[in-house]
A and B are shown apart, each in its own frame.
Chain A
Amino acid sequence: MNLLGYVFKRILQTIPLLFLVSIISFFLIRVAPVDPLAELRLNPSITQETLDYEIQRLGLDKPVIVQYGLWLKSFVKGDLGYCTTGEKVSDKLLERIPNTLLLTSLVILFTWMVGIPLGIVAALHWRKPIDRILTVLSSIGMAIPSFFFALLLLIFAVKTGWFPTGGLTSFNHSEMSTFHKILDILHHLVLPVLVLFTISLSGLQRQMRGNLLDVLQSDYVKFARAKGLSENKVVYKHALRNAINPMVTLLGFEFASLLSGAALTEYVFQYPGLGRLILEAVMKSDINLVMASLMIGTVMLVIGNLLADILLKIADPRVEVS
């Protein structure tokens, strides 16, 4: 019950936040001296009805405040308008969001599976060669620009031919059996996941190492040692549990930085995700699409943070809503 109350409170907190974000981004985009329907007008396949509908929906003949109100109303209803290509924005988003979620969740899964153990290893072998090596490697991982690493992997893919050079599916994807379809997608995912994995791994490993080192110096660990517990018990039963808690909060941050980092990686690998969608939208000044994907990106980020907080509450029931 306590947990439910906590979740409820946290959800209530996010509503004004999203509201504020929508105001900021709406006025930001409206600052741009661009006719939001310019591209639509130029597209011969767009009928006058669609145009009129958009002018109506966006209230382009009315003052900005009213426009914002109209936009908000239709956003809440789920009507996001049309792209410059004439497709519905909501359809496009629904097509892209699962891809980005797939990419980011795979990356988070792998980074946690590898980063946490490596952090523990480094902390336990503090200032020994293995710790030094891991520190150097993580410095390198943190310094390499994601798009540059992606380019290097592309060279590798082109030269060896072992991996596809872009996209999420092969050209003959629709003819494959279900099993081969999954294999095909996984094959396409290897390189983008590898790029994002390398980049977020370093930070996670360092954080884990730092946390565990902090905890290992605390009084209760000293006490546990003094009590005569075996080193394994001290580390894995007492220290680790407390060192993991701050990592859970980091999960939300990690998700945020992945959403941002993924945009460049998606762009290089031509991956059909949200990041590339917003990039393309920005370059074509497709205002409806930019606005919608910005909001969806924010919502995803907020939900990510929310989930991390809830996980933390489960892991550490002492946490309260601030």
Chain B
Amino acid sequence: MAKLPEYNDFVKDNIFKTVLKDKFAKYAVFILLILYLAVLFASFICPYQKEYSNRNKAYCPPSKIYIINEKGRLSLPYTYNYIRFFDKENFDTKYIEDRSQKHFVKYFAKGYKYKLFGIIPCDRHFYNVDEGGEIYLLGTDINGRDNFSRLLFGGRISLTIGFLALFVSFPLGMLYGGISGYFGGKIDFIMMRIAEAIMSIPSFYLLIILASILPANMTSVQRFTLIVVILALIGWAGFSRVVRGMVLSIKKKEFVIASEAMGASALRTIVKHILPQTLSYVIVAMTLSVPSYILSESGLSFLGLGIQQPDASWGNMLKEAQEFINIVSRPWLLTPGFLIFVAVLAFNLIGDTIRDAVDPNSRER
């Protein structure tokens, strides 16, 4: 018996072609590729570790990079350090550039040691400055940590958490919907009422309550894993209902009866023969729900219930932007928000295109 029906093969082949052909989706793929490469190579690209903190340079503005020197000549890129001083008249901390000392930007220079992909030991960085110089492309946060470096390290969490949650929630939803639809009757009734009950709780309320249950004294890896699980627990119910509806019609088909006649167990019939039939819907639903997971995680971390300091995620970096003084006079703290926006937009565009490719009705639109 064929593992997948022809239609699904057609869909799988076509998805990539359609996405790459579409004008918007092409750019979206390109942007996401850049984002994922940047976070993958974060430790190579960034001159600072995410834990690096310069206590004397809290809220330091972005370093200016000069390529024209004071004589008006073209020069290698250089930057100045900032000096912090206290403005006694306005009672305000201010930064001015220390023009006495130039710091040239060095490429592929040596810096802190790290392991590329977690295995290859390395100490070269894409950019860095001379000894004694500081380069903060996007300024620093309240602890004097380099915003740019944290953006890339934080992106690792923000951009992967959605996918991980997806790979927990969708198999769960498929299996749940599959079992419910296949057995029918009382089992179906009870399982669907439970799913409906979970769907009736406003999802964000459920999310924050689940997140608040987490004990405070966890390692960051444990916390990350549990946040993934929590995010996954929110989305599966609605999805399982749709799968169940599809299973109801699929289970009457001949190949299901054949599988039963050959003595396959119920679980085998569901997993091997019924659920693959729902694949085209699942792919669409999965791509369309990546953005909502990214948004949920960032919302949760924004409230301080998700990823915790000192770990970075785009959501918890935005937490600092909650203060008026920060958003008005330190706009670089808003950059994580733009990245969330760009990533979600790109995923949405790709998702829409895939849906159009898979759903023959919408293709005509």
Is B348 touching A142 in the complex (CB atoms < 8 A)?
yes
Q: Smallest distance from the beta carbon of A93 to chain B beta carbons, Å?
A: 14
Known contacts A126-B365, A158-B328, A33 near B348 by CB under 8 Å: no
**CB of B334 within 8 Å of the partner chain:** yes
Is B201 touching A25 in the complex (CB atoms < 8 A)?
yes
Which of B43-51, B210-218, B256-264 forms part of the interface with chain A? Answer: B210-218
Q: Which of B198, B203, B204, B205 contacts A293 (CB 8 A)?
A: B205
Is B205 touching A294 in the complex (CB atoms < 8 A)?
yes
Q: Which of A165, A213, A260, A298 contacts B324 (CB 8 A)?
A: A165
**CB of A290 within 8 Å of the partner chain:** yes
Q: Which of A31, A126, A260 contacts B204 (CB 8 A)?
A: A260
**CB of A139 within 8 Å of the partner chain:** yes
**CB of A147 within 8 Å of the partner chain:** yes
**CB of A279 within 8 Å of the partner chain:** yes
Which of B203, B210, B213, B291 has the most CB atoms of chain A within a 10 A radius of its CB? B213
**CB of A214 within 8 Å of the partner chain:** yes
Convert A271-302 into 0s and 1s, putting 1 for each residue whose CB lies closer than 8 angstroms to a CB of B: 00001001100110100001001100110011
A146 to B296, CA, bound (A): 11
- Shortest Cβ distance from A214 into B: residue: B361
Is B341 touching A158 in the complex (CB atoms < 8 A)?
no
Within 8 A of B (CB), among A227-284: 256, 259-261, 263-264, 267-268, 275, 278-279, 282-283
The binding surface of chain B is classed by DSSP as helix
Convert A1-41 into 0s and 1s, putting 1 for each residue whose CB lies closer than 8 angstroms to a CB of B: 00000000000000011101100110011011100000000
A165 to B302, CA, bound (A): 19
Q: Which of B196, B302, B331 contacts A147 (CB 8 A)?
A: B302
Q: What are the residues of chain A within 8 A of B318 when measuring CB–CB?
A: 147-148, 151
Tally of chain A residues near chain B (CB < 8 A): 55
Q: What are the residues of chain A within 8 A of B194 when measuring CB–CB?
A: 20, 24
**CB of B322 within 8 Å of the partner chain:** yes
Which of B193, B209, B344, B352 has the most CB atoms of chain A within a 10 A radius of its CB? B209
Convert B304-340 into 0s and 1s, putting 1 for each residue whose CB lies closer than 8 angstroms to a CB of A: 1100000000000010011010011001001001001
Q: Smallest distance from the beta carbon of A187 to chain B beta carbons, Å?
A: 18
**CB of B267 within 8 Å of the partner chain:** no
Known contacts A139-B349, A302-B200, A145 near B299 by CB under 8 Å: yes
Known contacts A17-B197, A282-B212, A297-B205, A145 near B298 by CB under 8 Å: yes
Q: Smallest distance from the beta carbon of A195 to chain B beta carbons, Å?
A: 13
**CB of B168 within 8 Å of the partner chain:** no
Is A148 touching B340 in the complex (CB atoms < 8 A)?
yes
Tally of chain B residues near chain A (CB < 8 A): 47
Q: What are the residues of chain B within 8 A of A151 when measuring CB–CB?
A: 318, 321-322, 327, 334, 337
Is A155 touching B197 in the complex (CB atoms < 8 A)?
no
The binding surface of chain A is classed by DSSP as helix
Q: Which of A126, A259, A285, A298 contacts B212 (CB 8 A)?
A: A285
A68 to B104, CA, bound (A): 68
**CB of A94 within 8 Å of the partner chain:** no
Known contacts A17-B193, A142-B348, A297-B205, A158 near B324 by CB under 8 Å: yes
**CB of A210 within 8 Å of the partner chain:** yes
Known contacts A260-B203, A264-B302, A268-B322, A20 near B208 by CB under 8 Å: no
Q: Smallest distance from the beta carbon of A229 to chain B beta carbons, Å?
A: 23
Q: What are the residues of chain B within 8 A of A283 when measuring CB–CB?
A: 212, 304-305
Q: Smallest distance from the beta carbon of B339 to chain A beta carbons, Å?
A: 10
Q: Which of A139, A144, A210, A278 contacts B205 (CB 8 A)?
A: A278
Known contacts A147-B318, A260-B205, A32 near B213 by CB under 8 Å: yes
A142 to B322, CA, bound (A): 22
Is B197 touching A145 in the complex (CB atoms < 8 A)?
no
A140 to B200, CA, bound (A): 28
- Shortest Cβ distance from B336 into A: residue: A148
Q: What are the residues of chain B within 8 A of A29 when measuring CB–CB?
A: 209, 213
**CB of A159 within 8 Å of the partner chain:** yes
Q: What are the residues of chain A within 8 A of B196 when measuring CB–CB?
A: 17, 20
Q: Smallest distance from the beta carbon of B319 to chain A beta carbons, Å?
A: 10
Known contacts A17-B197, A263-B204, A298-B201, A290 near B209 by CB under 8 Å: yes
A279 to B327, CA, bound (A): 23
Which of B212, B349, B352 has the most CB atoms of chain A within a 10 A radius of its CB? B212
**CB of A226 within 8 Å of the partner chain:** no
- Shortest Cβ distance from A126 into B: residue: B365
Q: Which of B200, B205, B337, B361 contacts A263 (CB 8 A)?
A: B205
A29 to B201, CA, bound (A): 14
**CB of A143 within 8 Å of the partner chain:** yes
Q: Smallest distance from the beta carbon of A189 to chain B beta carbons, Å?
A: 20
**CB of A310 within 8 Å of the partner chain:** no
Q: Which of B193, B203, B215, B341 contacts A148 (CB 8 A)?
A: B341
**CB of B362 within 8 Å of the partner chain:** yes
**CB of A201 within 8 Å of the partner chain:** no
- Shortest Cβ distance from A213 into B: residue: B365
A282 to B303, CA, bound (A): 11
Within 8 A of A (CB), among B156-174: none
Q: Which of B322, B331, B341, B364 contacts A145 (CB 8 A)?
A: B341
**CB of B202 within 8 Å of the partner chain:** yes
- Shortest Cβ distance from B296 into A: residue: A260
Q: What are the residues of chain A within 8 A of B213 when measuring CB–CB?
A: 28-29, 31-32
**CB of B345 within 8 Å of the partner chain:** yes
Q: What are the residues of chain A within 8 A of B193 when measuring CB–CB?
A: 16-17, 20
Q: What are the residues of chain B within 8 A of A20 when measuring CB–CB?
A: 193-194, 196-197
A267 to B327, CA, bound (A): 16
15 A-B pairs with CB atoms under 8 Å apart are A18-B200, A20-B194, A24-B194, A28-B209, A145-B295, A147-B318, A158-B327, A158-B328, A259-B204, A260-B202, A260-B205, A282-B212, A282-B305, A298-B202, A305-B200
Interface residues of A (CB under 8 A from B): 16-18, 20-21, 24-25, 28-29, 31-33, 126, 139-140, 142-148, 151-152, 154-155, 158-159, 165, 210, 213-214, 217, 256, 259-261, 263-264, 267-268, 275, 278-279, 282-283, 285, 290, 293-294, 297-298, 301-302, 305
Contacts A18-B200, A213-B365 known; list 5 others, CB within 8 Å.
A28-B210, A143-B344, A283-B304, A298-B200, A301-B201
